[in-house]
């Protein structure tokens, strides 16, 4: 007798595995009905992960998006699912328990049926509350095993991990093969082992196609008892995304499984609309490299979901590195050369960092550490000389216990920096904050929204929510979009790149910084710390070592520096959010804060002066 198997469309993940943004709500509403009309999906991934933060970044209310986007599927009887990150909820950093609890309640009321919960370290301790809160909120609690491939992450480890998740309240299990590096035979054995221990549990396989294993892995998962296979579809299947619907459907059908037919007219409509959205604006944020499969990723095991941001980060870092190389009369690197160096560095440092599973956010931590190591070493500095605060949190146990031991070099560095290791329950480090955000909203005259959804959004993404409410987020997004479009059509007619942009000159014993313009070109805009000529002899500056968003504090409990404060060498004075992590900026000198040159949320470039010191 043939066995039925179901398919789930990961429409959210299709976009975020390819680039930075997801479609606007008006676009999502246009594509919802054709997806339904395809007639082959039991589930559609609608939200979660970075979906809401992305909405905020381009000035759209994610609560409105969630409700409108999930409604057509609710009406059609197609289950909707979201991705959430356990201790980190739907952001990149840990979330207080009361905010996590509210999230599940709100998401169910907005129309999301299933919560796929994963922990970046596969720490059951961090997911216990996710399963509890999901069930209390009326959602189906699905526990995701984050597949990674190391001497410590073997078949038996994952089968036992599933046992632990189910004992803690997981109602379903997902095999989350986020990098697509799960070897097909091993994937089949993991699914088979779970099925043997839990005959009635629903098992779903989610595999990215990047290194090429996922088609065979989907078949092995199905043959060994998986109930649902996640798929993508053109124009965003393959590459760093997921195996294509048509391929998986035909393969499973040929192997004897029962699946509903695909309405190809509706399929072509979804395909056409998705391409229209790419042509509209989303394609400006999709790196062409992410549309290719890459077997080189078998080695470093980096996941498809972060490759969109990786290529953007790589582009920025390449520019910075080549700027330094040029200044020091050294040959420049190509993007491919830097990419291979990055892959090799990831392979080198991953064991040293305790083998954290390469899934959000820890894949970003390992990748960022590798990228910063490369940048620093190319510039003659030491490996590990710029580790961000999020990565240190992982290394010292604030997210839970790493599976492997830390390298002696990192242990020595932690001791040198007086960092304490944590062995308790990670959630205890993050006290409840909803009352704090209620007070803030009252002060600002902001409404909590339907079912407290606006309160949730503010508590979950405070900086992004404030930028959204002020209009700054939309303004910045539109400016960036225009900049990207202009870059494609701009042809330089008067190249002044060979001439200096500014000079420091001495007049009467006092130094002045003078900006220089050239005939036929627009004048360079002075940076925020300079007028056209500012005396610099009596001041020094703290510069940012990388580009990103400037913040004086990293969370609501911290107090930022202010003008007049005395600061000392080595003191943390600000933060730059870059590559999805928070980087602490420390002072390299003693002095008094004379001026803070950026406001929280401002974009800063590498080597910008951010604080003036007297």
Q: What is the 3-state secondary structure (H, E, C) of 44-98?
A: EEEEECCHHHHHHHCCCCHHHHHHHHHHHHHHHCCEEEEEECHHHCCCCCCCCHH
Same domain, 31 and 167: yes
Answer for the pair 553, 605: CB distance below 8 angstroms, yes or no.
Answer: no
Q: Does the pLDDT at position 70 exceed 50?
A: yes
Same domain, 305 and 423: yes
For the ranges 103-107, 194-198, 279-283, the lowest mean pLDDT is seen at 279-283
Cα separation of 513 and 495, whole Å? 23
pLDDT over 70 at 581, yes or no: no
Query: What is the arithmetic mean of pLDDT over 224-242?
Result: 95
User: Residue for token digits 């009326």?
Assistant: 138
- Final residue of a structural domain among 429, 459, 485: 429
Q: Decide if 492 is inside a domain.
A: no
Identify whether 470 is part of a domain.
no
pLDDT tens, position by position, 591-610: 899 999 988 878 888 778 89
pLDDT digits (tens, 9 = 90+) for 542-556: 988 777 888 888 766
| Per-residue pLDDT reduced to its tens digit, 22-51 | 999 999 999 999 999 999 999 999 999 888
Total domains in the chain come to 3
- Tell me what pLDDT residue 522 has: 41
CATH code, domain carrying 173: 3.20.20.70
Structural domain of 233: 6-285
Which helix or strand (DSSP H or E) is residue 363 part of? helix 362-378
Residues 305 and 273 in one domain: no
Nearest-angstrom CA–CA distance, 147 and 305 = 13
CB 155 within 8 Å of CB 456: no
CB 68 within 8 A of CB 29: yes
Q: Are residues 242 and 127 in the same domain?
A: yes
Dihedral (CA of 427, 428, 433, 435) sign: positive
- Of 429, 456, 483, the position where a domain reaches its end is 429
Q: In Å, what is the CA distance from 149 to each residue of 66, 178, 206, 337?
A: 34, 11, 16, 25
Identify the CATH number of the domain in which residue 554 sits.
2.40.50.100
Give yes or no: residues 268 and 331 share one domain: no
210 and 102 inside one domain: yes
Q: Which of 233-242, 486-495, 520-529, 544-553 shows the lowest mean pLDDT across its residues? A: 520-529
Instruction: Render pLDDT for 276-335 as a digit per residue (tens, 0 to 9).
Output: 999 999 999 887 877 888 787 777 776 655 565 666 667 777 888 888 889 889 999 888
Q: Under DSSP, is residue 204 helix (H, G, I), strand (E, B) or coil? A: strand
Integer Cα distance of 82 and 106 in angstroms: 12
Chain centroid to CA 53: how far?
A: 10
Distance, CA of 87 to CA of 94 (rounded, Å): 5
Residues 317 and 235 in one domain: no
Comparing C-alpha atoms, which of 385, 328, 316 is closest to residue 607?
316
First to last CA, the chain: 81
What integer pLDDT is reported at residue 503 of this predicted model?
53
User: What is the pairing mode between strands 566-567 and 581-586?
Assistant: unpaired
Residue 390 maps to a domain? yes
Question: Residues 115, 246: one domain?
Answer: yes
* Inside any domain, residue 158: yes
315 and 219 in a common domain: no
Tokens of 443: 């002060």
Weakest-pLDDT range from 182-186, 384-388, 526-530: 526-530
pLDDT, averaged across the chain? 87
In this structure, are 311 and 391 located in the same domain?
yes
C-alpha dihedral sign at 265, 271, 275, 278: positive
Domain-embedded: residue 444 = no
529 part of a folded domain? yes
Among the listed ranges 10-19, 68-77, 178-187, 310-319, which one has the minimum average pLDDT value?
310-319
Q: Which of 277, 376, 301 is nearest to 22 (CA)?
A: 277
Q: Which of 397, 429, 461 is the last residue of a domain?
A: 429
Residues 329 and 264 in one domain: no
Given the structure tokens 């699905």, which residue do they identify?
Answer: 142
pTM given for the model: 0.80
Answer whether residue 555 is part of any domain. yes
Predicted pLDDT at 217: 97
Same domain for 90 and 206, yes or no, is yes
Does 469 map to a domain? no
């Amino acid at each position: 007798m043939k066995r039925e198997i179901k398919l789930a469309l990961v429409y959210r993940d299709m976009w975020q595995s390819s680039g930075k943004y997801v479609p606007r709500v008006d676009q999502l509403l246009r594509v919802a009905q054709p997806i339904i009309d395809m007639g082959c999906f039991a589930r559609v991934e609608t939200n979660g992960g970075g979906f809401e933060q992305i909405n905020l970044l381009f000035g759209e209310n994610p609560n409105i998006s969630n409700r409108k986007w999930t409604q057509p599927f609710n009406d059609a009887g197609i289950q909707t699912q979201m991705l959430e990150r356990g201790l980190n909820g739907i952001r990149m950093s840990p979330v207080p328990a009361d905010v996590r609890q509210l999230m599940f309640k709100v998401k169910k009321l907005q129309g999301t049926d299933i919560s796929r919960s994963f922990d970046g370290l596969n720490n059951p301790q961090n997911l216990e509350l996710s399963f509890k809160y999901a069930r209390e909120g009326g959602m189906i609690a699905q526990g995701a095993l984050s597949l990674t491939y190391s001497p410590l992450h073997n078949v038996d480890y994952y089968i036992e991990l599933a046992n632990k998740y189910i004992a803690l309240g997981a109602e379903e299990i997902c095999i989350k093969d986020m990098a697509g590096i799960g070897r097909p035979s091993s994937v089949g054995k993991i699914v088979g082992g779970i099925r043997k221990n839990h005959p009635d549990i629903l098992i779903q396989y989610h595999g990215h196609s990047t290194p090429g294993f996922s088609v065979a892995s989907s078949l092995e998962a199905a043959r060994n008892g998986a109930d649902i296979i996640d798929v993508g579809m053109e124009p965003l299947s393959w590459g760093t995304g997921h195996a294509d619907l048509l391929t998986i459907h035909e393969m499973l059908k040929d192997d004897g499984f029962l699946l509903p037919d695909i309405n190809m007219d509706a399929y072509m409509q979804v395909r056409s609309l998705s391409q229209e959205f790419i042509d509209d604006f989303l394609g400006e944020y999709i790196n062409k490299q992410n549309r290719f499969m890459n077997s080189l990723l078998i080695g470093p095991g980096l996941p498809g979901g972060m490759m969109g941001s990786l290529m953007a980060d790589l582009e920025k870092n390449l520019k910075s590195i080549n700027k330094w190389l040029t200044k020091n009369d050294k040959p420049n690197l190509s993007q491919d050369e830097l990419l291979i160096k990055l892959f090799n560095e990831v392979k080198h440092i991953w064991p040293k960092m305790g083998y954290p599973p390469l899934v959000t956010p820890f894949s970003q931590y390992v990748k960022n550490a590798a990228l910063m190591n490369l940048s620093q070493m190319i510039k003659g500095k030491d490996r590990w000389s710029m580790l961000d605060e999020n990565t240190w949190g992982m290394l010292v146990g604030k997210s839970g216990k790493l599976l492997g031991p830390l390298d002696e070099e990192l242990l020595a560095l932690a001791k040198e920096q007086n960092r304490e290791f944590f062995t308790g329950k990670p959630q205890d480090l993050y006290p409840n904050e909803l009352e704090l955000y209620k007070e803030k909203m009252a002060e600002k005259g902001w409404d909590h929204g339907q079912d407290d959804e606006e309160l949730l959004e503010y508590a979950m993404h405070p900086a992004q929510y404030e930028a959204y409410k002020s209009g700054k987020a939309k303004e910045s997004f539109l400016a960036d979009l225009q900049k990207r479009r202009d870059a494609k059509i701009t042809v330089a007619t008067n190249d002044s790149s060979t001439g200096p942009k500014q000079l420091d000159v001495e007049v009467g014993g006092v130094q002045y910084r003078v900006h220089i313009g050239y005939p036929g070109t627009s004048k360079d805009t002075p940076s925020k710390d300079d007028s056209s000529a500012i005396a610099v002899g009596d001041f020094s500056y703290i510069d940012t070592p990388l580009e990103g968003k400037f913040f004086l504090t990293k969370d609501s409990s911290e107090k930022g520096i202010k003008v007049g404060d005395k600061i000392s060498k080595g003191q943390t004075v600000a933060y730059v959010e870059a590559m999805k992590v928070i980087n602490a900026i420390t002072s390299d000198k003693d002095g008094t804060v004379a001026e803070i040159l950026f406001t929280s949320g401002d974009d800063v470039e590498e080597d910008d002066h951010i604080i003036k010191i007297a």
